[in-house]
Structure formats: C-alpha cells, structure tokens
Amino acid sequence: MTQIPACLHPPTRRAGRPNFTRLPAGVPFGLLALLLGGLLGCAGGPVSEPKHLRFAEQVLGTAEEELAWNFHALLEYKNTDNDLPAAPADTRPTPGGAAPDGGQRARRPPDFCRLAPRQPGEIEVRGLGLHFPGYLLGVEKTSRQTLGLLGGPFGACSDSDSEDIFRQAFLRVPLRTGGGFDDPTCLLKRRLDDRRRMFLSHVVAFRTLHANATTRIGGAVLYDVYARNDLLCTIQQAAATGQPPAWEKGAFFAGRAQGLAELENALRADLLSAQQSGKPYSHVFVYVMGWNTGEAASIENFNALFGYLLDAAAVDASAGSHFRPLFIGLTWPSTWSFGTSAWDQFVRGVSFWNKKNDADELGTTWANYLVNEVLTRIKQEHERLRVVLVGHSFGARAVSRALYSCPWLATPGDCQNTVDLVVGLQSAFGRSRFRHGLSPAWQEAIAVHPMHHEGIPYTDYSQFAAYRAKQAYLWSRYDSATSLSAMIGGNNEVERTRAPGNQDLFQHLDDPAAGDDRSPLPPSSEVISRVRQLAAHDRRVLLIDGAGFVRYDTPYHGGDAHSDIYTRETGQLTWELVKKYAPSAPPSSRAK
C-alpha cells in the first residue's frame, strides 16, 4: 500500500462533521492557505529534468519561451526525448558548501559531440497532426551568425558582400534593373540582410497506419534539426571559439541539402506507390497561413481549409475517382508574441512590418526551394500532376512570392510551368507588386518606410504572363485588416485595378450588390458557381468579391472578417477554381 508522507497525514479530529457556520469569516480560506503552504513546503522529491529538446533550442538560439513551442509544436510530441542518455548532473558545490540548486542535482547541457544523430525512422509523432495523408514543413528563425551566414544587418544594396549573401541563400545575383527602392535586387537583399534568418527545422510525413485493426493517421519525422546532434555539435564547438560555424556544415545548408532531399525522396516514393496501385495522385497542394499563426494553429487551419475542399470534391460527381490530392503544409515564425496582455497586443502590432518582410523571405527562399526545385523536378517526372498553392493573408504573400522567385534560383529549370493555380485568401500584399501606379504615390513614398517598401518584384523579374499559373485572389469589403493596411485583400485596393489601362492585367468576379450597401448580398453559392462560367484559358489575375460569405468577425483573430475563411464556402470556392484552372486528368492519360 502506498505510504502517505507524514506531513500530508490529516490531523486527528473528533467524530462528526464540522460546523463551518460557527467559524469566523475567512477561517476556511485561511485553513486552505495553510494546507496549500504545507503541501508546497513538504515537497521533497527530485525536480523534473528539462527535455533534450530544450538544450537543442538553446544551442540553435530558438529558446524563446512560448515562441519556440508555437513554431515547432509538432516536435513536443516526438518519441525520442525521454530515451536519450541523461547528461551528467551538476554537483559542483557553491562557496557556501551547498549544491548550486539547493540540494537538487541539476541537469547540465549535454555534449552533443558525444551523441550519435537520430535516424529519421526512429522518430515518430503522436499528438498534433493532419486529418489526411500529407507533409508538414516547419521553418524557424535564429541569428544569422548561428547559421553561418555572412552579411547583415541592413547593408546597402551596393555592398561587396551581396554576392555572398545571395550565394548562401542558394540564389543568384541578378542584374539590377532600375535602382532605388523599387529595384528587386535591393528589395530582396534587404530581406536577406535581416539580423535573424529562417531555416528549415523539421519535415514530418503523415500517413495512414495499418499496424492493427484501428485505422489512423500517424506522423513520421523525416528531418529534425533538433535531433541532428552532429549539427548541434558543430554549433557548440563554434560557439566555444567565438566564431560562427561554417555555412556548409550548418543548419541552413542542412535544411536544403538533407531536409528537402528527404521530402523529395518521400514524395517520389508516394507517387510511385500510388501509381503502381492504379490510383495515382492527381494534385499536390501547398498551403501557407498568415500573420500571428503558430504551428499548432496552422495545423488546425490546414485541416479546416483542405478538409472543406475535400468535402466539396467528395459530393461533386464531376470529380470522379481520379481526384487524389497530396497535401503539403508550410509553417513559419509569423509573430513576435502569443500572449494576451495589452503589451503582447502592442508587440504583435509592431511586428507587422517585420513579418511582412519575413513572408517575402519565406517565399523567396524555402517556399521557392520547395515549389521551384523539389516540385519542379517531381512534375517533370509526372507531367500530368497539378500543383496548387493556397495562402491566407501573409501566407498568400509568401506563395505568390514563391511563384515569381524561380528566376532567382541558380538553375531555374522549367519552374515557370510548375504551378497551375495560386489561390490567395484575403491576400496581404499591395497591388503595386504587379504594376507601377496601382497604389497612391503618398502611400508608397510616405506611409511605407523604405526598409519595408512593397517594391514591384512581380513585374520587373518575372513577366507574369509567361507563367502557366492562374492566380485567383479572394477579397472582401468586410476585411478591415487588409483595407487598413492597403493590401489587395481589402476593398480599397480593388478600385484602381478596374481602370481601363489595367484590364489586360486584372479580371474581376464581382458581387452583383457591390457598391450598394442597401442591396442584399447574394448567397455564397451564386458567386462560387459563377467560377464555372469563366474562360479556363484566361491567365489574367482574377479578383473575386467574396463579401457574400467573407463577412463575419472571427473571435481572437482581429481584422473583422479577415479570417472568416475557414468555412465550407471557402472550400467550395477553392474546389471550383481547381476544377476550372487545374483539372485532373484521367489516370489512363497520365504520363509515366
């Protein structure tokens, strides 16, 4: 029988029930306080030890309380932290003779150089995850010195280190096209000069498990920088000498060389297995969420957005049996705080400019590598495979930036023909990205600080008409977030796109009640069904008025209807766009 510590034994009392009505006011609360104090005072067991993951966070510079957890929430549920050999305890006495922790044995950081790297097959995830087969890629931020990256911060465009900065980002240095803050090269160099840079920290595959009679979805970690003890060793040794690690031996390089390679190998295996089974995959979807969205919330949003799309396809007889999509979700460090205080609200607001720049960096680097390298090679082997990018808010900024970033790659290949469809939901980027004169001059010159300037990266470098992709962007007059910040997802950004001189660039799918607040809004089904009437060959940028269903405030999100997109209607709209602009081909006609 379990023995109760003496300090927890109840005091001896007389039989019968106490009459608390006879006690002075406040006595029961005082007794409760004494009891709680006794419980805390007599606690004499050993203190719990920090996870191996906590020490790896310290080495990589990502140990920032709730931020670290939110940016790699999946990794909290991996199965390896508790079976690693314990690091030696710190038993060095203090000058007073006591142990440094007051009698407890404190765990010291391990010497990662003495630990073997964990193999991908060893690491599983049981916790957060997708409701369907697919992949999740996690991107985080740390100091550029920790990653072994040269340059920064805030160097001039003409700095001699430009070539190194672009080379270490696996990008070429293109010729400058106009100079000034609109110059795409200068614009991107300012993003890559950030004091903290993004790196790929983990890749997790979610597949159907058939280990027993219960069918379920399980996560297998393909790449985990926090389990790469060889990388952690390199950073530890470099820190001990006060020097940054070598770039080609660091975490940024490893993310592209090993992390994305593991993903590409897994995608090839999935596609081959599906093809051999007679049920080949028809599409690859890449989703990215927006500002102030951690990894756990992103996974929730992925499940809603893609789940509603799958629902719409399931009840559509025209989908047939050959719509078999594969999902890839990309998470990124999109906020400075997840707290709820007034100070946290202020911090999140101030982070707007930094995070919109981060979305550009994400689109030009990791989303670019994923789409224009990995998926380009995959699609060249499976020519009928369709590729669809979907982003919300700053996520739409990232996926559109990825679309237009393939010319920055050292060997672009055929990436202009990789993406078939881009769907932006309440997109948080300016219309000036497509063409000069689409934003007021005062807005570009005064309201937007040059370090955060929108620039025109979509026009000067990409020649968007040469791209295969159809772009469709949902907007709503009820979205105050993008309207206030002059982004294309709000009402104020749409008007100039209707000018006669812009009809070659923009196509509109309007709400019949637009411009008349007294008119009842049409049902969502009317606007969505009108996608079927559009010409499939029209490659102009499509702006869709979604006020009929993007109109309700979403709790704890802000921006009024900015986040009113995790709905059945959004899934139906996305499905109609996929059918129109990225239709799947019957398996019999699929190449290879």
In sequence order, the 6+-apart residues with CB closer than 8 A to the CB of 154 are 190, 193, 451
Range in 236-245, 249-258, 350-359 with the lowest mean pLDDT: 350-359
In sequence order, the 6+-apart residues with CB closer than 8 A to the CB of 112 are 56, 59, 229, 230, 232, 233, 236
Specify the 3-state DSSP secondary structure of 90: strand
Q: What is the pLDDT of residue 419?
A: 95
Q: Which residues pair with 507 in a beta bridge?
A: 542
Residue type at position 17: R
Q: What is the pLDDT of residue 287?
A: 98
Identify the CATH assignment for 281-585 out of 1.10.8, 3.40.50, 2.30.30, 3.30.70: 3.40.50
Report residue 529's pLDDT band, with 50, 70 and 90 as the boundaries.
confident
Range in 139-148, 207-216, 293-302, 470-479 with the lowest mean pLDDT: 207-216
In sequence order, the 6+-apart residues with CB closer than 8 A to the CB of 178 are 460
pLDDT at 393 exceeding the cut of 70: yes
Q: What is the pLDDT of residue 34?
A: 52
- 153 cis-preceded (ω within 30 degrees of 0): yes
Q: What is the pLDDT of residue 521?
A: 59
Q: Spell out the alpha helix ranges (H) of 44-102.
A: 52-60, 66-71
Q: What is the pLDDT of residue 413?
A: 76
pLDDT at 400 exceeding the cut of 90: yes
Please give the share of the chain, as a percent, with pLDDT higher than 90.
38
Terminal Cα-to-Cα distance of the chain (whole angstroms):
67
Q: What mean pLDDT comes out for the span 336-341?
A: 78
Higher local confidence (pLDDT), 178 or 214: 214
pLDDT at 454 exceeding the cut of 60: yes
In what helix (H) or strand (E) does residue 287 lie, and over which residues does it extend? strand 283-288
Phi-psi region for residue 320, left (φ > 0), alpha (ψ -120 to 50) or beta?
left
pLDDT at 592 exceeding the cut of 50: no
Q: What is the pLDDT of residue 126?
A: 87
Report pTM: 0.86
Report residue 1's pLDDT band, with 50, 70 and 90 as the boundaries.
very low
Work out whether strand 89-90 and strand 106-107 pair parallel, antiparallel, or are unpaired: antiparallel
Q: What is the 3-state secondary structure (H, E, C) of 106-141?
A: EECCCCHHHCCCCCHHHCEECCCCCCCCEEEEEEEE
The CA-atom distances, in angstroms, between 107 and each of 46, 233, 571 are: 11, 18, 49
E strands in 393-495: 421-425, 470-475
pLDDT tens digits, 30-67: 555 555 555 555 556 677 777 888 889 999 999 876 78
E strands in 2-60: none
- Give whichever of 22-31, 41-50, 426-435, 508-517 has the largest mean pLDDT: 426-435
Q: Average pLDDT of the chain?
A: 80
Higher local confidence (pLDDT), 287 or 229: 287
Q: What mean pLDDT comes out for the span 145-174?
A: 80
Report residue 176's pLDDT band, with 50, 70 and 90 as the boundaries.
low
Range in 83-97, 323-337, 391-405, 570-584 with the lowest mean pLDDT: 83-97
Letter string b/e over residues 198-207, b meaning 16 or more CB atoms within 10 A of that residue's CB? bbbbbbbbbb
Exposed/middle/buried for 413, CB within 10 Å: 0-12, 13-18, 19+? middle
Q: What is the pLDDT of residue 114?
A: 83
Q: Which two tokens stand for residue 191?
A: 């993003």
Report residue 535's pLDDT band, with 50, 70 and 90 as the boundaries.
very high
Q: What is the pLDDT of residue 374?
A: 96
pLDDT tens digits, 99-126: 444 444 456 778 888 887 777 667 888 8
pLDDT at 520 exceeding the cut of 70: no
pLDDT at 498 exceeding the cut of 90: no
Per the CB < 8 A criterion, the answer to whether 117 and 227 are in contact is: yes
Per the CB < 8 A criterion, the answer to whether 490 and 480 are in contact is: yes
pLDDT at 588 exceeding the cut of 70: no
Exposed/middle/buried for 493, CB within 10 Å: 0-12, 13-18, 19+? buried
Q: What is the pLDDT of residue 288?
A: 98
Q: What is the pLDDT of residue 422?
A: 96
pLDDT tens digits, 355-368: 888 999 999 999 99
Domain boundaries, the chain: 51-82+109-153+194-272, 281-585
Report residue 420's pLDDT band, with 50, 70 and 90 as the boundaries.
very high
Q: What is the pLDDT of residue 472?
A: 95
